[in-house]
Structure 1
Amino acid sequence: MVGLPNISTAVSRIVATTQNGLEVIRMGGLETGTEPAPFTIVETEKMFRLRRYFPDDPGDNAPHIILIPPMMVSANVYDVTEQNGAVSVLHRYGIIPWVVDFGSPDHEVGGMERTLTDHVVAISRVVDLVRRVVGHDVHLAGYSQGGMFAYQTAAYRRAEGLASIITYGSPVDITAAMPLGIPANLVVPGVEFLGDRFFSNVWVPSWLARTGFQLADPVKTARSRIDFLRRLHDRDALLPREDQRRFIEQEGWVAWSGPAVAELLRQFVVHNRMVSGGFVIDGEVVSMTDITCPVLAFVGETDDIGQPVAVRGIQRAAPDADVYETPVPAGHFGLVVGSTAGRLSWPTTAEWILWRDGRGPKPQTTAPMDASAATGSGISWANRLTYGVGQVAGAGTAVSKELIDAVSSIQRTATAVASESVRTVPRLLRLGQIQPSTRISLGKLMSENERRTPHNELFLFENRVLTHEQVNTRIDYVVAGLISCGIRPGEHIGVLMHTRPSALVVVAALSRLGAVAVILASGDDLPEMLKLSDTHSIITDPTHLDVASAASDRVLVLGGGSPDARVIERADGERVVDMEQIDPESVRMPVWYRRDPGLAGDLAFILFTKTQGRIAKWAITNHRFAMSAFGAAAAAGLSNRDTVYCLPPLHHASGLLTTLGATVVGRSRIALSNGIDPETFAFEVRHYGVTVVSYTWSMLADILRGETFDPAQLSTVRLFMGSGLSTGLWTEIDDVLPKARILEFFATADGSTILANVDGTKVGSMGRALPETNSVRIAAYDPETEQLLVDGDTGFIREADVGEVGMLVAHAAQRFGSNGLVLRDVFRPHDRWEVAGSLFRADADGDLWFVGSSQNVIRTAHGIAYPVPIQQALSQVAAVDQVAVYGVGEPGTQVAVAVISLRAGSSSVTPTALRVGLGELSSDERPDLIWVVDEMPRSESFRVITSGFVAAGIPKPGARVWYRDGEGRYRRYTAKAAKSVDWSSRTPHAAAQAPE
C-alpha cells in the first residue's frame, strides 16, 4: 500500500504531461490567459503601422517614447509579458509608448525590396508624426538593430526633435567585437561577399532569422528546450515564462528584406561607418557625429550579439553627445524581455526619461559611459559564468575562441599579406601587362567600376552622394554635349575649374571621348599655358568664366548647379556656350564615336610646372597616368572601404594622378572639400568618414596648427598621402596622430618617375620606385658644369656613390614614347634612360632623398647649396611655419637666401635655434642669409611662391635678417654688416665680425 501514492503521482504526472503536450502541439503553446496591452493604429503607411499604446490615456503633458523593433523581430517584442513588458512598465511610470510596426516584409506589398534607407526615413517620418500630435520632443528607443535604426535616424535628422536616444544591446563599433568573439578579419571578407552577391538578390524568411538567433547560443537553446520538456507536467511553473518562450521559439520572428540586409552589412559591418561616419541615407551623407542629444545605452554583460565593446562604440562615434550607460546582467534577449528587463531595463528607461524631462532624479544604475571600457575584444568569460551561462557553453566557446585565436595568431602576418595581395598584385600585374595598343584610360577605368558596382557611392560633396552609375551617366551626357560643340578625339581642350564633381566629370568625359584634357590654373600664366599646349577652347565653371573668356575666344561653361544669370546673359552659342542647356538625349552621336578609345601610348593630359619664373609643359600619356594611378593605389592599399578626402587642386600632379587616379583604381569613395580651413576640415573628415587624406605641400599646416585642432576628430584617418610635405610638418603629424601613416610620393609631372616612401619610417625620404613602374638610378652629376660624369674606365655614365648627390634617371621602356630627354648607352650598351632634371642622393639602404631641381641649384662663391635640405632642416625649428630657399645673383657668386615665416603665437626666433636646426648641414651648405617675413604667399596647391622674393634681390638690412659669418654663426644683418660682406668672395671683413 505504500507504493500507491507514488503510482498515483506518476500517473497524474504522465496525464498532465500528455495534456499539456497535446495543447502545445495543437495550439503552439500553453494558454496563459494574459492579454496584450491595449493599442490603436494611429497611422498606416507603406513602410509601417504606428501603434499608440493605452489609447484611453490622453497623456496630457506626459513624456512620449517611440520604440523601434529590429528588422527580424516582431513589434510585439515590447509587449511579450503582461507585467514585465516594456509598454506596460513604461505606462506605469506615466510615459506614453508608441511602437513602430514594420510588419512582416514577406506579407507586405514591396516588402522584400525594402532598403535600409526606407526604414530610417520611415522612422524619421514617425518622429515628425508623433511630435505634431504631442507638441514637444520625443524619446527614441530601439532594441538591437532597432537601436541602430534609432542612432541612424538621429544622425539623419541632426537630432532634431529628439529629447534623447535609448538603445538596448545595439552595436556601433561592430568590428571591434563580432558576435561570439570571432575575429573581424575572418568575418568581414565573407560578410562583404554575402552582402554584394547573396543578400542583395534574396530575402531571409522568418524561420531562418529565428534559427540564426538560436544558433548564436545553441547550448542555451537546447538547455531551454530540455528544461521545458522536463517541466511539461508542471503547468504552474511553465506559465510565467510561456509567453516569452513562445515569442522566442515561434511568434517573434519576421522575414528580412534582402536589400536592407545587404546595405546594413556593407555600410556597418564591412565599412563600419557607424564609427567612421560617411554612411548614406536617402542620398545624403550622414555621420554619427551629427548626434547631439543625450544617449543612454543598455549594455548586456553577457550579450554575445551586441557585445559590450561594440555597444560602447557610441561614445567615440558621437563625441558631441552626452552618453550614459546602464549595465545589465543579461544576454541579448534578456535586455528587453523577461524578469531582468522588467526589474531593471524598463524601470531605468522610465527613470531616465523622467530625469531628462526634469521630472525626477537620475537613475541610480545609470552613469556616464567610461571611455576606458570601450576597448578590448569582447565580453569577459568571467561575466558569462557569473551571470548563468552554462559551464558547457562557456567551456565549449572558450575552446573555440582559443582555437580561433591560435589560428589568428599563427596566420596574422600571412593574412595581412594575403589581404594586401588581393588588392595590389592584380593591379601591379595589370600595369606590367600594358602594351602601347592596350586600351587604358581614366574613362575606361570608370566604366569598369560602373560595371562592377553601379550602386556604390563614388563622389561625396556638399552632403550629396553620387554613385558610379550616376557619375558615368553624367559623363556620357557631357560627352554628348562636347560632341555637339564640335569637340573631336585628339583635340586639346583646356579645363579651368575648381575641384568639384563637375570638374572630375569633365576630365573623365574628355578621356572617354579621346580628347586631351589640358589642366589649367588661373593666373597671369594662363595665356602662355594655352599657347604652349596649342589649346583654343576652355571648359570652365561659372566662377572662372571671366578669366577664361579673357584668355580664350571659345569657352564652354559647365557646372554650378542651378542656372547662373551670368552664364545665361553671356552665352551666345559661339564664344560662350552654356553646356547645361544642351539636351544630351537630342544629340546624334556620330559614326566615328567610340566609347573610351584611349590607348596606352595616346596623349591623355597636359599639366604645367613653373620653375624660376618659366612655364614648362608636361605631357602625360594614358600609360603614365595608369602607372601613377595603379602604383599609388597599390602603395596606399586603397580599396572600396576607403573614403579619400581630395584636397589638392586638379592642376597639380598629386590631384590628378595620385589622388583621382589612385582613388578610381582603388574603387574608393572620393570626398571633395568645400574649403581648406580647420573647421571645415574637421567637420568633413568626421561627416564623410574619411580614411585617407590627400595633400600637397603645406596644405595641412594651417589645420594641424590651428587653435581649435583636436586630434580625436581625425580618429578615422589611417593614411595621409601626397607630395611636398616638409619634415617639420611630417614629424608633427607623427606625434599627434601616431596611428595614421604618411605616404609621401615623388612623381615627375609627366609620370616618368614615381617614388614613394611606403613605410614612412624615414621622415623626409622619397623612398623608392614603386613596383612595375619605371626603375630609377642616380647618375653621377657635376652641378658646376651641369654634366653627367663618365667613368674613365668604361666610358659609361658612373652611378653615384652612397650619399653622393646625382641626377635621377628613369628607365625608358622601348615600347613607350618619352617626353623628356632620353639618353642611350648610359650604364650599359643599348639601354635607355630618361632624365627628369631632379637631383637626389641615396642612403645605404637604397632609399632616395630629394635635394632639389637641377635648375634650382644655388652656386655660391663657397660652393654648392641645395635648397631642399635647407628647407627641410629649417622646417623642424619649433617657431618656423613656412620656408623657401632661393639664390640671388649670377651663378658662382649667388647668395643663398632662406625666407621663413613664423607660426602663430611666435614673435621671434633666435639665431641659436636656426643654427641648431641647420646642424646636420655643413657650414657651406647652409644659407648665407635668413630673412624672417610676416607672410609668405602660397599657390593654390599651397606651395610657397618665391618669385616676389627673388625679384627683390638680397634683403635689406634689418632686425629680422641674419647673415652667416665666416665661422658659421648667424649674426644680425645690419647696415654696417651689409657694407662689410663681400658676397663675391663670401668673406666678411673684420668690421662685421662683432656680434650684434
Structure 2
Amino acid sequence: MVDLSAITRPVGRLVATAQNGLEVLRYGGLETGAVPSPFQIVQSVPMYRLRRYFPPDARPGAKPAGPPVLMVHPMMMSADMWDVTREEGAVGILHRAGLDPWVIDFGSPDKVEGGMQRNLADHVVALSEAIDTVKEVAGHDVHLAGYSQGGMFCYQTAAYRRSRDLASIIAFGAPVDTLAALPLNLPAGLAVGAADFMADHVFSRIDIPGWLARTGFQMLDPIKTAQARVEFLMQLHDREALLPREQQRRFLASEGWIAWSGPAISELLKQFIAHNRMMTGGFAIHGQLVTLSDITCPVLAVVGEVDDIGQPPSVRGIKRAAPQADVYEYLLRAGHFGLVVGSKASQQTWPTVAGWVKWLEGGGDMPDGVEPMALQAQEHIESGVSLTSRVAHGATAATEMAFGVARSAAGALVSANKSARSLAVETARTLPRLARLGQISDHTRISLGRIMSEQVRGAPDGEFLLYDGRVHTYEAVDRRINNVVRGLIEVGVRQGTRVGVLMETRPSALVAIAALSRLGAVAVLMPPDVDLATAARLGAVSEIIADPTHLEAARTLPMRVLVLGGGDTRDLHVPDDADVVDMEQIDPDQVALPGWYRPNPGLARDLAFIAFSSVGGDLVARQITNYRWALSAFGTASAANLGRTDTVYCLTPLHHQSGLLVSLGGAVVGGTRIALSRELRPDRFVQEIRQYGVSVVSYTWAMLREIIDDPSFRLAGGHPVRLFIGSGMPTGLWKRVVEIFEPAHVVEFFATPDGQAVLANVSGAKIGSKGRALPGGGQVELAAYDPDYDLILEDDRGFVRRAAANEVGVLLARPRGPVDPTASVKRGVFAPADTWVSSEYLFRRDEDGDYWLVDNRGSVIHTPRGPVYATPISDAVGCIGAVDVAVTYGIEAGGRQLAVTALALCPGGSIPTAELTETLCHLPVGNPPDIVHVVSDIELSASYRPLISPLRAAGVPRPSRRNSWYLDTDTNSYKRLTVAVRAELTGGPDDAPAQNDSQLQPRAQQ
C-alpha cells in the first residue's frame, strides 16, 4: 500500500515555503498580528518626541505609576527597538514589573528639516531636556537606560547635568574606554589615526543612510548574520516556528535602521574614539566642558560576554571614568543586540533591570548576578573579544581549549607589536618637528603668531583654548587675535614696538601675546608682583596692555594704557583725561590695514619677548628671540610627544618663561588643547584635570607641593594625566608625584637663561636627572673644572679638557642664533676657532650620558673640607621619604664658610640620624654639609622656587633635641647639634638658646 504522506509532506512543505516566501517578498516579512504597546506623546519638538508607554489612568483612585525609566536608543537604530515584541519587549516587561517606561525618540534625521546637521551635543542637550520633562510629569527622579551609543548618551548627559534628577543609569553594552578594546580587535594606534582622518575628511562631507547603517552593523559579525539568514530560509516552511522571532528579524533586517548625520559621526569618531574623551574627560557639549567624573548616581553596566561592539574592557571603563559613582555590572553571555532584544533579554536582562530599580527604590533585594564592578587595569591591552571568540560563539563549534589557545596567541601578537606601533606613532610626530627645528636659520620666518596661523589652516574647528569650563576653537581664537592686531594698529603700535603686557592668566592675555607676535612687536611680559617701574625701564616699554584687574597698577606708569579683556560692556571707571584706551571699543572692521603690515613678519633672529627673573634680589630682563621660543616650543612638543589628543594644563602664569615657552609653546606646536588656570587652587586641581581631560600638566619648581600637600587634596579613582612637564621639581616631590599619579611620569627640562643649552629628562626614569641635550637643539659639552681655583681645565695642547664620567664640569653650548651680549663666549675651546657659550652652570655626566645639575659656578660653598655643591645634597636628602623640600646654602661664621641644609618635612615625618648619615656621606660629587636642620616651612617665590635668603638671614641654626645635626668629621657621621658644638662652629660663645622642637612641626600640622 502506498504511503501518501511520503508524497504530500514534501509537497506541502514546498507549498508552505512558496507561500511564506511570497509574503516575505511582498511585505518584507511574515504578518504576525502583533500590535505595538500603547503610548502617548508627552512632548514633541523638532529634535525628539517623548513617549510614555502604558500611560497611567488619570481617574481618581487609579493605581499610581511606578518609578520612571527613560530609555535611549542609539542614533542609527529606531526607538521602536524597546517594543520589538509587546510580550518580550523592554517596555512591556518593565510595565508588568510595576515601573513607568518612557522612551525618547530622536526620529529619523533624514526626514526632519535640518536633521542631517545634528551633532552629538544636540542629542545630549535634548536628552537632558527630556529628563526635566519626565521628572516634572512623573514627580520622581529618573532611571536612565541606554543601549550602545544610547548608553553613551546617558553617561554624557548625566555628567552634563552632574546627575541632577537622576536615580540611576543603566547602560547596555555602552563603550566608555573606547581604546581598551575595539571592534574586530583593531589596534588602538591604527584606530586613532583612522578615526581622526575619517572625522576630518570623510564624515565632514557625507552622511550614513539607514541601509548603510544596517549593513555596517551586520558586517561587524558577518558569521552570525549569515547563520541567521540560513536558519530563516531553512525554516521558511514552518510559519509557527518563525513567528515568535519574526518581529525581531524584521527589525534587524530592515525596519530598525535610520540615517546617521555626518556631524554626529564625525564628533563621535573625534571625541570618543580618537581622543577617548569618555575616559579622559574634557569633551564639549555646546562649548561646555564635561567629564564623567561628575557622575554621582548609581550605575549598572550590562556587559555582553561575547559582545564585539561594546567589548567588556571598554564597557568596564566606566568604573575608572566615574570614580564618584557606585558602579555595578551584570554579566550576560550574549552578543551586542542580544543584551536588549531576544529571549535572553526577556528572561534575564529586563527582569534584572526591574529588580535593580526596585532595589534602589527600597522595594527588594539586589538582583542575582549584579555585582560591584572591579577596577580594571588602565593600560590598553587591545585584546578584547577576539575573532576566534566570535567564531566560537556564532558557530558554537570551537572548543574552549581552542578558544583559549587562539586568544593567547592573539595576546602574544598584540604584545609583540605594541611597542613597535607606539614607536612608529611617536616617530611620525617627532621627526618632522625636529627636522623643521634643524632647518631654522637666522632669516627663517617663524614666530608664535605664525605657528598659530598654521594650526588654524590645518584644523580650524579644532579645540584649542579651555578656560572657565568653556572651549574655544582655533578659528575663534585666531579671529580674536586678528581683531586685536587691528586694534593695535589703530592705536599706533608697529612692528618692533615694545609693549608691556600686565595681565592675569586668561584668554585675553594669550590673545594679546599672540597678537603682538603676529604684528611683529615685542611683548614685554610684566609680572604683577614686581616693581613695575623697574620692569618697564628694563624692558624699554613704550605703552602697556592691561586687563581691567590691573588697570590701576598700570596707570601708575607714565605711559599710555591699552585695556583689553573683560568684555565690551564693562565700565572702566577712569577719568576722561586719563591716557587710557579701551581696546574693546574699537571696531576691527572699521580699521584699514596699512601698506606696511604683513602678518607674522618675525624672523628667527628677531627679539620676540622679554621676560623677567630675579637674581640675587635684583630684577633681570631676559630677551627671548623667535628662535629661542621655537627651540623650547618644538623641543617640548617633541620630548612630551604632544598630539591632538592631548590637553596641556598651564598652571604657570603666561608671564613666566615656563608658561610662555613650555606650556603655550608646546601646545601650539603640538596642536594640542591648552587649559588655562586662573591660579593654583588645590581644591580645584583634581576637578579641573578631569573636566578638561588634562593629559599633560606644566609646573615650575615646587609648585605641585601646593597641590599634594593640601589637606583637601583627594585623588579617588582614575585620572587622565600622563605627563608632568616643567623644570626645577625637587626630587622628593618628584617621587611623591609619580607615586600618587601613577602611571604618569615627569619630563624635567633644564634651559640656560639665553636658551643656548636645553636638556630634557624624557624617560623620567632617573629622578633628579636633567637628561640629555634636547634633539634638534644645540650641541652641549662639559668642560673639566677645578672648583678650588674656579678654573676651566686644559689639556696638554691648550684646548679645554672634556670632563670624564661623573667629573664636575662647566656646561658649554655651541651657539645657534643670536648670542646674548652679556654671555660668556669662549673661542678655540675644543678646536681652533670654534665658538662656545659658557652657561656658568656646573654639571656631571653619568656613565649613561645623562646630565645632573651640580651647582651654579658662583654659588659653590668653599669650606675648609673642600667644595660643597648644593644641588646633589638637596637631591639626596629630598629622596628621604620624610622630606618635603630641602635647600642647601652657605653661611659666613667664625671666619669661614659653613654649608647648611634646611629640611621641611612631610606631615608626620621624622628623620633617623643613621639615615641622614647614610644619605649624605655617599654623595656622587662634593662634600656633605656642616649642619642639617629641620624648619617648619621653606618659603617659595612667586614661581615656587625655594627661597634661601630668609634662611641665610636667620644665621647658624640653633640646637634642638631632635631636629638639628652637625657633621662629625672624625667619624664621618652626623650627630645631634649641641650648644657647645654650635659655639665651636661659629668661633665664639653661643648666645642662642636651644630651639623648642614643637616649633618645627611640618606646616600642614601647625
TM bracket, shorter-chain basis: over 0.9
Give the C-alpha shift of residue 846 in structure 1: 1.7
Bigger drift between 348-357 and 466-475 goes to 348-357
RMSD (Å), alpha carbons: 2.9
Relative to structure 2, which stretch is displaced further, 373-382 or 274-283? 373-382
Question: For residues 803 and 117 of structure 1, do their structure 2 counterparts lie closer, same or farther at Cα, with a shift above 3 Å needed?
Answer: same
SS at match of 1:228: helix
- Report if the CA contact (8 A) 1:805-1:840 is conserved: yes
- Residue 870 of structure 2 corresponds to residue 855 of structure 1: no
- The residue type paired with residue 216 of structure 2 is G
Give the alignment of 1:47-58 within 5 angstroms. Answer: 47-55=47-55, 57-58=57-58
Corresponding residue for 2:1004? none
Distance 1:620 1:665, change over 3 A: same
Higher mean alpha-carbon deviation, 390-399 vs 955-964, is at 390-399
CA pair 786-482 structure 1, distance change in 2 beyond 3 A: farther
Alignment deviations for residues 757-783 of structure 1 (CA, whole Å, 9 cap, x no partner):
112222211111011100100112333
Secondary structure of the 1:175 match is coil
1:671 matched residue in structure 2: 675
Tell me the amino acid that sits aligned with residue 937 of structure 1.
E
Q: Is the 8 A contact 1:65 1:97 kept in 2?
A: yes
Equivalence for 2:16: 16
Counterpart residue identity of residue 263, structure 2 = P
The residue number in structure 2 matching 1:944 is 946
Q: Is the 8 A contact 2:184 2:387 kept in 1?
A: no
The separation in 2 between residues aligned to 1:395 and 1:113, in whole angstroms, is 49
Structure 2 CA distance for aligned equivalents of residues 743 and 681 of structure 1: 20
- Listed as ranges, the matches of 1:463-502 within 5 Å are 463-502=469-508
Worse overlay, 34-43 or 532-541: 532-541
2:6 maps to amino acid? N
Q: What is the Cα deviation at residue 700 of structure 1?
A: 1.4
* Conservation of the 8 A alpha-carbon contact between 2:759 and 2:770: yes
Q: Distance in 2 between matches of 1:780 and 1:608?
A: 31
Cα 1:842/1:56, change in 2 over 3 Å: closer
Structure 2 counterpart SS, 1:925 = coil
Pair 1:45 & 2:48 matched: no
TM-score (norm 2): 0.93
The farther-off stretch of 424-433 and 675-684 is 675-684
Structure 2 CA distance for aligned equivalents of residues 28 and 396 of structure 1: 40
Alignment counterpart, residue 527 of structure 1, candidates 508, 516, 533: 533
- Cα 1:484–1:844 change in 2 (3 A) is same
Looking at structure 1, the residues matched to 436 and 636 of structure 2 have their Cα atoms a distance apart, in angstroms, of 14
- 1:127 aligns to 2:131 (yes or no): yes
Query: How much does 1:403 deviate?
Result: 8.0
Distance in 1, matches of 2:377 and 2:762, equals 34
Q: Residue 161 of structure 1: which of 153, 161, 165 is its match?
A: 165
Question: Where in structure 2 are there 5+ consecutive unaligned residues?
Answer: 998-1006
Specify every segment of 5 or more residues in structure 1 that has no aligned partner in the other structure, as ranges: none
Q: For 1:309-458, what aligned pairs fall within 5 Å after superposition? A: 309-371=313-375, 377-379=383-385, 389-391=395-397, 408-458=414-464
In 1: Cα distance, 2:894 partner to 2:511 partner: 46
* Aligned partners of 2:65 and 2:98 also within 8 Å: no
Shift of 1:110: 0.9
Counterpart CA distance in 2 for 1:113 and 1:779 is: 64
Give the 3 Å change call, closer, same or farther, for CA 401–362 of structure 1 in structure 2: closer
Residue aligning to 2:735: 731
| Correspondence for 2:890 | 887
Post-superposition CA distance 1:439-458 (Å, at most 9, x none): 11111111111111111211
Name the stretch that deviates more: 322-331 or 660-669.
Answer: 322-331
Which residue number in structure 2 is paired with residue 720 of structure 1? 724
Cα deviation code 1:141-184 (max 9, x no counterpart) = 11111111011111101011111111111111111111133332
Alignment of 1:209-228 (within 5 A): 209-228=213-232
Q: Give the equivalent residue in structure 1 for 2:919.
A: 917
Could you say if the C-alpha distance between residues 551 and 898 of structure 1 is closer, same or farther in structure 2, counting changes exceeding 3 Å?
A: farther
Question: Is residue 72–residue 206 contact of structure 1 (8 Å, CA) maintained in 2?
Answer: yes
> Aligned in 2, Cα 1:81/1:819: closer, same or farther, shift over 3 Å?
farther
* Alpha-carbon distance between aligned partners in 2 of 1:396 and 1:76, rounded to the nearest angstrom: 39
Q: Percent identity?
A: 52
Q: Decide whether aligned partners of structure 1 residues 738 and 293 sit closer, same or farther in structure 2, where only a CA change above 3 A counts.
A: closer
SS in 2 for 1:199: coil
Q: Which moved more, 1:929-938 or 1:614-623?
A: 929-938
Query: Would the aligned equivalents of 2:42 and 2:50 in 1 still touch at CA under 8 Å?
Result: yes
Q: Distance in 1 between matches of 2:24 and 2:681?
A: 68
Query: In the alignment, is the contact (CA less than 8 A) between 1:181 and 1:401 conserved in 2?
Result: no
Q: Structure 2: which amino acid aligns with 1:914? A: L
Partner in structure 2 of residue 868 of structure 1? 871
Q: 1:734 to 1:867 in 2, by over 3 A?
A: same
Trace 1:621-636 onto structure 2 (pairs within 5 A).
621-636=625-640
Match for residue 844 of structure 1 among 841, 844, 847: 847
Q: Distance in 2 between matches of 1:29 and 1:182?
A: 35
2:1003 corresponds to: none
Amino acid at match of 1:869: P
1:742 corresponding residue in structure 2 = 746
Q: Which amino acid counterpart does residue 766 of structure 1 have in structure 2?
A: K
Distance in 2 between residues matched to 1:730 and 1:672, nearest whole Å: 23
Q: 2: CA distance between counterparts of 1:586 and 1:395?
A: 76
Matched ranges for 1:590-609 at <5 A? 590-609=594-613
Q: 2:804 aligns with which of 795, 801, 809?
A: 801
Match of 1:894, SS state, is strand
What one-letter code is carried by the residue in structure 1 that aligns with 2:561? V
The code of the aligned residue for 2:456 comes to E
Greater Cα shift, 716-725 or 391-400: 391-400
- Alpha-carbon separation, structure 2, partners of 1:751 and 1:345: 63
TM-score normalised to structure 1 length: 0.93
The amino acid across from 2:157 in the alignment is T
**1:427-826 mapped onto 2 (5 Å cutoff):** 427-551=433-557, 553-560=559-566, 568-570=572-574, 572=576, 574-707=578-711, 709-713=713-717, 715-791=719-795, 793-813=796-816, 820-826=823-829
Match of 1:935 in 2: 937
Determine whether 1:64 maps to 2:50. no
TM-superposed CA distance for 1:198, in Å, is 0.8
Secondary structure at 1:244's aligned position in 2? helix
Q: Quote the residue 2:91 is aligned against.
A: 87
Flag the 1:819–1:591 CA change in 2: closer, same or farther, 3 A.
farther
Structure 1 residue 393, shift from structure 2 partner: 12
Q: Counterparts of 1:913 and 1:394 in 2: how far apart (Å)?
A: 56
Aligned twin of 1:7: 7
Matched letter for residue 223 of structure 2: V
Q: Deviations over 1:173-209 (max 9, x none)?
A: 1111111333323322212211221112110111111
- Secondary structure of 2:529's match? coil
1:32 is matched with 32
Matched, 1:899 2:899: no
What secondary structure does 1:823 align onto? strand
User: Offset at 1:224?
Assistant: 0.8
Aligned residue-pair number: 984
- Give the CA deviation at 1:394: 10
Q: Which moved more, 1:477-486 or 1:133-142?
A: 477-486
Provide Cα deviations, 1:916-940, integer angstroms capped at 9, x if missing partner. 3313238972222334322222122
Cα distance between partner residues in 2 of 1:69 and 1:982? 80
Equivalent residue letter for 1:863: G
Cα deviations by residue, 1:590-634 (Å, 9 ceiling, x for unpaired): 222221111111111112232222333221111111111111111
| CA distance, structure 1, for counterparts of residue 371 and residue 787 of structure 2 | 69
Q: CA 1:113–1:399 in structure 2 vs 1: closer, same or farther (change >3 Å)?
A: farther
CA distance, structure 2, for counterparts of residue 841 and residue 923 of structure 1: 8
Determine the C-alpha separation between the residues in 1 that align with 2:399 and 2:683. Answer: 51
Residue 176 of structure 1 aligns to a residue in which SS? Answer: coil
User: How far, CA to CA, are the matches of 2:786 and 2:443 in structure 1?
Assistant: 39
Greater Cα shift, 864-873 or 537-546: 537-546
Q: CA deviation at 1:305?
A: 1.0
Q: CA deviation at 1:877?
A: 2.8
Shift of the alpha carbon at 1:273? 1.1
Alpha-carbon contact 2:544-2:560 (below 8 Å) kept: yes
Report the counterpart of residue 1001 of structure 2 in structure 1: none
Preserved contact between residue 309 and residue 374 of structure 1 (Cα < 8 Å):
no
Shift of 1:369: 1.9
